[in-house]
Amino acid sequence: MKNTLPILLLLFIFASFNNLSAQEDIKNSEDHPLLTRYPGSYIASYEKIKFREYNLAHGPITGYRQIKDTKKVAGQLYRITYIVDQPVEKLSIGEVYQDYKQAIKKAGITLLGDGLFSDRNVKKEIGGGSWIGIALKDNGFPQGSKATLLFAGTSSSGGTFSIIGKVNSKTGTTYVAIYGERHSKSKVVYHVDIIEEKNAETGKVFADANYIKKEIDEMGMVTIYGINFDFDSAKIREDSKPTLDEIAKFLKDNPSIKIYVVGHTDMKGSLSYNLTLSKNRAKAIVDALVKTYKIDASRLEEGGVGPLSPKSTNESEDGRYLNRRVELVKKI
């Protein structure tokens, strides 16, 4: 019995050390059901966004900070950043890449593009260090997100990869984008974006004040659906009030921010007509914010670009719906 206490104490200390050194998933996070994680990974950052647009790059860099083969998609977005605390002697970046390539195949996902580079690099091909930075520049992360580790590998880091794919099902198309790097000699970081494609639900407000602030902070702009107009008119419909309420709340909560209100249309009708219509609709929004919500007019400026900056195809009603929108752009 004399030796029991020291043994129990030793076991307690050993267990406590293991618990302190073990990394756990952040609270309220989970794997997406389409793809599980690499063994030994933990979730360091997690977002589930009901509706967001996403620029899906699937080709090499073709110009200065530009990838020509980029598809604009929209839907429910899952953003999961994983970390594997394994030294380079025990885990190569290629092992994580190959494991996900096999998982992609098993899940029936069609590969749109992929690439692996085992050493530190600034390659412009899919999966290269420079490529990852360009591919993600329009899909910003919240401040403090662990996903930003992808852009900050240490001098001892080595190797990057990316895998881009899509899968079709009865419920729609889902896109997968995986970006990874050997962040340091002791750590692999990889990030998974999964976009379940769908249109914004008509009549629902996605742009609440918190969402607007988040997008403005991260992207410098936010796309707004939910402001509706009479046909071929700049008259705002009554069902737009919930969205206008949220825009006004954002502006009142952030009195130092000034914005451009930019109107967009689909391609039905002539260019000159749609340019005028989009600007008139933007002006109607500015007028409503000033007159109804008492927002200082000096903080707002309207503009209209008609069909010149589409978010989707104009050859289907679903695509035209995504193109008929308003964007709030932060003025610097």
Are both 99 and 166 inside the same structural domain?
yes
- 227 three-class SS: coil
Q: What is the dihedral of CA 269, 275, 276, 278, to 10 degrees?
A: 100
Note whether residue 250 is domain-resident.
Answer: yes
The boundaries of the domain holding residue 69 are: 23-197
Tell me which residue of 217, 248, 243 sits closest to 228, measured CA to CA.
243
Residue 169 in tokens: 């099902």
Helix (H) or strand (E) holding 189, with range, is strand 187-197
Find the radius of gyration of the CA atoms of the chain.
Answer: 24
Taking each helix axis from N to C end, the angle separating 209-219 and 241-253, rounded to the nearest 10 degrees, works out to 60
CATH number of the domain within which 103 lies: 3.40.1000
CATH number of the domain within which 223 lies: 3.30.1330.60
Note whether residue 204 is domain-resident.
Answer: no
Query: How many domains in the chain?
Result: 2
Supply the pLDDT for residue 19.
Answer: 38
Q: What is the dihedral of CA 311, 166, 218, 325, to 10 degrees?
A: 20
Are both 254 and 282 inside the same structural domain?
yes
How do the residues of the chain divide into helix, strand and coil, expressed in percent and rounded to 5?
30, 30, 40
β-partners of residue 258 are none
Supply the pLDDT for residue 323.
Answer: 87
Whether the CB-CB separation of 319 and 313 falls below 8 Å is answered with yes
Measured CA to CA, the distance from residue 139 to residue 55 in angstroms comes to 7
- 328 three-class SS: strand
Are both 179 and 213 inside the same structural domain?
no
> 48 φ, ψ to 5°?
-130, 110
Write out the chain's pLDDT in tens, 332 residues.
444 444 444 433 333 334 333 589 999 999 999 999 999 999 999 998 877 889 999 999 998 889 999 988 888 899 999 999 999 999 999 999 999 999 998 889 999 999 999 998 999 999 999 999 999 988 888 778 898 888 877 767 789 999 999 998 777 899 999 999 999 999 999 999 999 987 555 444 456 888 899 889 888 999 898 898 988 899 999 989 999 999 999 999 999 999 999 999 999 999 999 999 999 999 999 999 999 999 999 999 999 999 999 887 888 777 788 889 999 999 99
Are both 86 and 219 inside the same structural domain?
no
Taking each helix axis from N to C end, the angle separating 241-253 and 271-291, rounded to the nearest 10 degrees, works out to 60
